[in-house]
Amino acid sequence: MTITSGNLFSGVAPARAEGGEDFTTIVASGAVKIERIVSHGHASPPGFWYDQDWSEWVVVLSGAAGLLFEGEPAPRTLRRGDHLLIPAHVRHRVAWTDADEPTVWLAVHYR
């Protein structure tokens, strides 16, 4: 096994005019994948819902975001340090992410 290291904030651009998200896989092994997600004023497209075959645990390391879950009246606001577990097949969408600073997430996907 090779020892690797890095910094989760390395290479994070301060802002991106067009919005969007960048995904970097940190670790992938068997039924687990850990990735860094950097969002820049991003929201899911209108009418789009994630419906994943795997569970996902996310934590916001910087910035802020709103996640909307199907059947809930309003997005849940996540700020630095906030985390949540999204079970498989729970439909959700990104309502918004911070437009003034990058939102850096750590996501753990597992089956």
Could you read off the pLDDT of 62-104 as tens digits, one per residue?
999 999 999 999 999 999 999 999 999 999 999 999 999 999 9
pLDDT at 93: 98
State the Cα–Cα distance between residues 43 and 49, nearest whole angstrom. Answer: 11
Could you read off the pLDDT of 24-71 as tens digits, one per residue?
999 999 999 999 999 999 999 999 999 999 999 999 999 999 999 999
pLDDT at 17: 65
Sign of CA dihedral 19, 27, 90, 50: positive
Please say if the pLDDT value at position 18 is more than 90: no
Kindly report whether the global pTM for this prediction surpasses the value 0.85.
Answer: yes
Residue 27's DSSP bridge partners are 34
pLDDT at 45: 95
Dump the DSSP string for 28-63: EETTEEEEEEEESS--PPTT--B--SSEEEEEEEES
Domains of the chain and any CATH numbers: 21-110 (2.60.120.10)
Could you read off the pLDDT of 1-17 as tens digits, one per residue?
789 999 999 999 887 76
